[in-house]
Chains A and B, each alone.
Chain A
Amino acid sequence: MPSSAMPESGLPALQEPPATRSSTSPRSILLWTCVALLGAVAWGVVALARGERISAVWLVVAALGSYAIAYRFYSRFIARRVLQPDDRRATPAERLDDGVDFQPTDRRVLLGHHFAAIAGAGPLVGPVLAAQMGYLPGTLWIVAGVIFAGAVQDMVVLFLSMRRDGKSLGQMARDEIGRAGGAAALIAVFAIMIILLGVLALVVVNALAHSPWGTFSVAMTIPIALFMGLWMHRVRPGRVVETSLIGVALLLLAIAGGSWVQNSSLAGTFTLSPTTLVFCLIGYGFVASVLPVWMLLAPRDYLSTFMKIGTIALLAVGVVFAAPTLQADAVSKFAGSGAGPVFAGSLFPFLFITIACGALSGFHALVASGTTPKLIQKESQVRMIGYGAMLMESFVAIMALIAAATLDPGLYYAMNAPAGLLGTTAESASHAVAGLGFTITPDQLTQAARAVEEQTLIARSGGAPTLAVGMSEIFSTIFGGTAMKAFWYHFAIMFEALFILTTVDAGTRVGRFMLQDMLGNVCKPLGRVNFKPGIWLCSGLVVAAWGYFLHSGATDPLGGINQLFPLFGIANQLLAAIALTVCTTVLVKSGRLRWAWVTGAPLAWVTAITFTAGWQKIFSSDPKIGFFAQRDHYADALDAGQVLAPAKTTADMHTVVTNSTVDGVLIALFLLLVAVVIGNAAVVCVRALRSATPLPNTEAPYVESRIDAPGLPAEPLVGARP
């Protein structure tokens, strides 16, 4: 077996880690001891507080302390021992610099790009739903998951892709694992993206249904984006910063204007049912994918990036200064029983698939193996960009969890349980919440809705409205008081909807490109990126696919989020399993078996949770958990001529039967695809270990770097290129 210290390239690289300054100065030791102590004390407070309410600040300190330690020590260990980046080696950005796709970019700028690409609505939604199990399990998973799995995946994939000229995850799977594994990975990526878009769009639908204020302000983002597009393209070409600032100002005006619309005669026009919103979104998705990028997609992306960074910073400030008290239990009774109303199933494995983004998200592997690796200036920067950006996303997830956990549990369940359980009136919802073991009076429920100027907060599942109420509580204690509560609520709704619509736009386009690429093998013209009928056909197919899930979710009597979110979580984590399999295979193939646990351990964990969850979703005999048990339950009732609650009509019963069949089959398909990838990879690893000579290397050849900017010394503030 080759020695573990052999660099992947097999080139005369460093045997010893680069001679960086060893920072064991007394000051550094003191500083890191303090950080460790502070983090440990915060964890102690969080862990030992039983039966008393603690401040959310402890969660923030515990998380930040852990991130700092992990970044300083674990990511450095991965860089020095496992990946061994070499700053004397030219990155693809330098070697292939074309000023467009490949160009060395300042690491701080690239961190911003990468963060904007990986962080969206995911880390905001998952933790809110997972708050059903209490804040402690979620916090532990978010922090431990990101340190040992999520950030590791992002960093290693980024590094491997960078060493391979920015190859995509699918290409790397094919090159490293083989044709079967590669094809399975490609299909899995496409299918997972469709589910993801459907579920995210469902979050928007649930947030905007029957809310004229929210619908108006989100609808206004379309003319605002069109205006920005025209301004940037025709009037003041290329002036992105000023255009974005104008856009943000218009956006704030639109949010304020929503309040006026709500109380005007226009309110009826913007009060839409979920089904209407579904068709609006499907239509929008198609148009956005077909229109030129500069008109809608690009400006919306800028707007979303500005809002993202601004609001997240604001939320961090808000949590620290408002220091809200956590109202939820540390560990709720649903963690053990698995009978929670928000999503069914016990803590293991369902907590770990509900919180994907923020802890471990397979989707990041697509970003880390696409645009970002082509822009890295120096190899050692993968640590800051890959590991660091993921830690930032994890922090966003912690803040979302805090926002949900500071809500009164009664209100939380009144908002997040399925509509079928809660009914439509404040009385029925209050009664249902009491049945779950929590209290909220009908009056309190009406008051809560009135405070944010919504008609109702009952059964506003999907996470976005809950987070918005939590954010409005936090923001209004600092900025503007109760009078501003409704504004902040709709600000938060708008902020999430904006992210999601950006993801929907971009995702539909990515899906269209993938489909065109696949269909191009069958029919040549369809593969051409500027062949209009091909664009329309493929866009239509992609939109129809996610539109199907969106529609079935919005009309599902059992609650679309309740049914589809596990599917989304499993899909996302399975993508992580594929990415970690690729990473582990490369480590083994390149003679680093000794360090293969770095990606192998998270791979084992994610395989365990996804396959357990998938298994339960397929084979569980509990109709609340198992899709096929649910199907049989409802199909038998249909045969007997019964209508089971929460279904109200025979048509509802048929809907449940169809949806559970589709969802069950999909999960089975996903598991099968990932099993193929892992099985194929295992064969390759065994072959690599038995082979006397190393297997062929897929890295780009070594070229000496000419950019003389290793390490941290000041870079001139004149642009990315030195």
Chain B
Amino acid sequence: MNTRRWMRAVRWYLRELTGEAEYDRYCERHRHHHPLAPVPTRREYQVLRTLHQETRSHSRCC
């Protein structure tokens, strides 16, 4: 039981850290703001996200 909780926590952390969980939040947000519009699929969201990454830069330090 305890191991399971640990595994869940690790999975949660990795999904959050890598941004994999972003899509879930995006859907939630989308449903809230546009209740009638269909939610973009994961693939469609990925395209949006890439476009966004393309125009932003983030520093990586030494």
Which of A's residues lie within 8 Å of B, judged by CB? 99-101, 103, 105-106, 108-109, 112-113, 116-122, 196, 200, 232-233, 237-241, 244, 292-294, 298, 301-302, 305, 356-357, 361, 363-364, 366-367, 370-371, 502-503, 505-507, 509-510, 512-513, 529-530, 572, 717-721
Contact = CB atoms under 8 A, between A and B. Distances in A.
A12 B61 CA distance: 38
B39 to A, nearest CB: 13
B16 A503 contact: no
Given A99-B29, A100-B52, A241-B14, A717 B57 contact: no
Interface string B20-62: 1111111001000000000000110110011011111111111
B46 to A, nearest CB: 4
A366 B59 contact: yes
B18 interface: yes
A109 B61 contact: no
B1 interface: no
B62 A361 contact: yes
Nearest to B19: A240
A101 B58 CA distance: 11
Nearest to A508: B57
A117 to B, nearest CB: 6
B55 to A, nearest CB: 5
B62 A240 contact: no
B18 A302 contact: yes
A292 B9 contact: no
Contact of A101 (B20, B25, B56): B56
Given A101-B56, A241-B18, A717-B8, 17 more contacts: A109-B13, A109-B16, A113-B17, A120-B62, A196-B62, A200-B62, A238-B20, A238-B49, A239-B20, A241-B14, A356-B62, A357-B62, A366-B61, A529-B54, A530-B54, A719-B12, A719-B25
A103 B20 CA distance: 15
A506 B12 contact: no
A120 B11 CA distance: 24
14 contacts: A117-B58, A117-B60, A117-B61, A119-B61, A233-B46, A239-B20, A363-B61, A363-B62, A367-B58, A503-B62, A506-B58, A506-B60, A717-B9, A719-B21
Contact of A503 (B43, B54, B56, B61): B61
Given A106-B16, A112-B13, A237-B43, A301 B50 contact: no
Given A237-B43, A238-B42, A507 B59 contact: yes
Contact of B42 (A105, A119, A237): A237
B20 A241 contact: yes
B16 A118 contact: no
Contacts of A100: 52
Contacts of B15: 240-241
A664 B15 CA distance: 48
Contacts of B23: 238
B61 A720 contact: no
Select the residue from B23, B43, B50 with max chain A CB neighbours within 10 A: B50
B50 A109 contact: no
B13 A510 contact: no
Contacts of B49: 238
B61 A99 contact: no
Contacts of B25: 99, 103, 719-721
Given A112-B13, A239-B20, A719-B24, A118 B61 contact: yes
Select the residue from B58, B59, B62 with max chain A CB neighbours within 10 A: B62
A14 B22 CA distance: 35
Select the residue from B14, B24, B49, B60 with max chain A CB neighbours within 10 A: B60
Q: Which 4 A-B pairs have the closest CB atoms?
A: A122-B62, A240-B18, A506-B60, A237-B46
Nearest to B12: A717
A367 B11 CA distance: 26
Contacts of A240: 15, 18-20
